[in-house]
Amino acid sequence: MGLGKQILSKLGAIGKALVWLLYFICADGAIYYSFAFFGIDRNVYKGIYTLISSTIVFITMLVISKLLSMKKEPLIKIRKLEPGQVISLVVIALGMLGFVTLYIIVAGRIADYLESMKNAMEEYRDSVDRFSDTPQVVVPAWDTVIYVLTLCFVIPVTEEITFRGVIFGQLRRAFGPWVSVFISALIFGVMHGISVHIGYAIACGIIIAACYHMTDSILAPILLHSIFNIFGSGIATFMSFEAFGIPEKVSSDFMLGTNLLSMMMMPVAVIAFAYLVSNKRKREKALLKLEETSEVQVELTEEQGSAAGEEMQAASEEIKIEAKE
């Protein structure tokens, strides 16, 4: 392939990735305006709103991935995770949460001296607080339960199918795995907004995409994202809903314990990632050895077939000679 075609191929891959991002945003916007059209308050029924939006995106992205995989290498890789990989991914998810916690603490300290950062931090806290702009008394308990379940289990599946499945998969065909890791992480970060979010979103996007590449299974980023959301905001949102009657001290103690544990897991997460790298290399070596063994078997089979053919030909000639005699 010439240089011009290579450049066009890479630009085309980036263009397609941005198209899927645009679709992701537009799908959410369509549900937003649908709620507005029917007079349903999205802030009050955020749970059902998030569930519908995530489900629609998930289904369509799954269909898109199937269409883009026709007569080509599958866009989304799925394989069963080994127990060691699952444990490593849980550790990495907690370490990633520790990194984000530390990031927010540092950003909060900087905000003490910079007015612009202070405003950004206030916007960030409002964005992650389910009840920042809606009184809890008007929010149904069942909608809060749906919101927490969607946040912990549905959104991770939807976003990973979108960003690590379709977008990363599309980029990987043109750029290879590692360049695609960084481009997809940048897209993932931008999607979270140009604010306090973007820094840690890009970093988390790199970690999640790298783990996907190390395991060759979309189940890995889904597990990472789900664990992160469960301990990062899911349980906290559930416990902060006053109607459930959970004492504030229990909630604050849990969050403090989670933050301390996650920050302690940061160095362990590095070791866990090193395990995934080692495991990836072992599987690649085993696959290479299997391919070499298969090639040798094919060669032996061809040699045996050739020898058998020569024997049959010799026997046929002997029969002809005997028949003439």
Over the stretch 148-200, which tens digit does the pLDDT of each residue have?
A: 999 999 999 999 999 999 999 999 999 999 999 999 999 999 888 777 888 99
Q: What is the pLDDT of residue 307?
A: 57
Is residue 49 a part of any domain in this protein?
yes
What's this model's pTM, rounded to 2 decimal places?
Answer: 0.88
Residue 304 has pLDDT above 80, yes or no: no
| CA 303 to each of CA 247, 297, 308: distance values in angstroms, whole numbers, following the listed order | 78, 10, 8
Q: Residues 17-41: what's their mean pLDDT?
A: 92
Quick one: which of 224, 209, 222 has its CA closest to 176?
A: 209
CB 33 within 8 A of CB 194: no
Torsion sign across C-alpha atoms 251, 144, 29, 224: positive
pLDDT band at 117 (very low <50, low <70, confident <90, very high): confident
Is residue 259 a part of any domain in this protein?
yes
Residue 218 has pLDDT above 70, yes or no: yes
Is residue 106 a part of any domain in this protein?
yes
For residue 222, give both structure tokens. 């889904």
- The 10 Å Cβ neighbour count of residue 226 is 21
- The 10 Å Cβ neighbour count of residue 108 is 15
Is residue 309 a part of any domain in this protein?
no
Is residue 312 a part of any domain in this protein?
no
Residue 132 has pLDDT above 80, yes or no: yes
Residue ranges in 112-167 assigned as alpha helix (H) = 115-128, 141-149, 155-160
The per-residue pLDDT of the chain, averaged, comes to 88
CB 191 within 8 A of CB 129: no
Q: How far apart are CA 11 and CA 16, in angstroms?
A: 9
Q: What is the pLDDT of residue 310?
A: 58
Radius of gyration of the chain (CA): 27
**How confident is the model over 32-49, as pLDDT tens digits?**
999 999 999 999 999 999
Q: How far apart are CA 242 and CA 45, in angstroms?
A: 17
Classify 250 as helix, strand or coil.
helix
Is residue 56 a part of any domain in this protein?
yes
pLDDT band at 323 (very low <50, low <70, confident <90, very high): very low
- Structural domain range at position 229: 3-293
Is residue 313 a part of any domain in this protein?
no
Q: How many domains does the chain have?
A: 1
**How confident is the model over 74-94, as pLDDT tens digits?**
889 999 999 999 999 999 999
Residue 325 has pLDDT above 70, yes or no: no
CB 24 within 8 A of CB 57: yes
pLDDT band at 292 (very low <50, low <70, confident <90, very high): confident
Amino acid letter, 298: V
Q: Determine what percent of the chain is predicted with pLDDT higher than 70.
A: 90
Is residue 105 a part of any domain in this protein?
yes
Q: Residues 244-262: what's their mean pLDDT?
A: 92
